[in-house]
């Protein structure tokens, strides 16, 4: 099992994606429809702008920052350390709020989780064999945190 991997978050494993719909996620006491929306909202300190992300789809939330007129709301202290902290918080919230998803995550057991992609994201995932795979690493950390409390629900096949 240790050498097995999940190398993309599509199809059967789409629930691992931040774009997974209707995966209620809370960040700083605001509820979003997905971990992607929560993560994108965290890129601003402006509370009014953050609220806009509560009504967006994951795709809309990600493209929000591509518009030049929205750049003025982008927080100046956004760096790798803070990005990783926020991602861990929103991913953990996504699975805390949904027992079904939490069980599915833990049922991936010891598999290596890789956010394989073709859009050249080598920070959160791996593209063409290159990348840091921080999203996969965070998912595996969160999985380990949930395991002790869920083992009684999951058979050890």
- Please tell me the class of the 5-150 domain: mainly alpha
Burial class from Cβ neighbours inside 10 Å (0-12, 13-18, 19+) for residue 84 reads: middle
User: Where along the chain do its domains lie?
Assistant: 5-150
> What are phi and psi for residue 25, nearest 5 degrees?
-135, 135
In a structure prediction context, what are the per-residue pLDDT tens digits for the chain, which is 157 residues long? 567 999 999 999 999 999 998 889 999 999 999 999 999 999 999 999 999 999 999 999 999 999 999 999 999 999 999 999 999 999 999 999 999 999 999 999 999 999 999 999 999 999 999 999 999 999 999 999 999 988 766 655 4
């Amino acid at each position: 099992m240790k050498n097995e991997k999940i190398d993309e978050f599509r199809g059967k494993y789409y629930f691992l994606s931040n774009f997974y719909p209707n995966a209620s996620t809370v960040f700083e006491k605001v509820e979003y429809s997905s971990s992607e929306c929560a993560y994108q909202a965290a890129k601003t300190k402006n509370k009014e702008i953050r609220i806009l992300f509560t009504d967006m789809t994951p795709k809309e939330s990600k493209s929000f920052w591509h518009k030049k007129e929205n750049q003025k709301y982008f927080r100046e202290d956004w760096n790798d350390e803070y990005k990783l902290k926020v991602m861990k918080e929103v991913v953990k919230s996504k699975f805390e709020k949904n027992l079904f998803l939490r069980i599915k995550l833990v049922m991936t057991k010891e598999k290596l989780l890789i956010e394989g992609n073709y859009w050249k994201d080598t920070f959160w995932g791996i593209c063409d064999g290159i990348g840091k795979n921080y999203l996969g690493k965070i998912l595996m950390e969160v999985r380990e945190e949930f395991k002790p409390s869920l083992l009684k629900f999951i058979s050890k096949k």
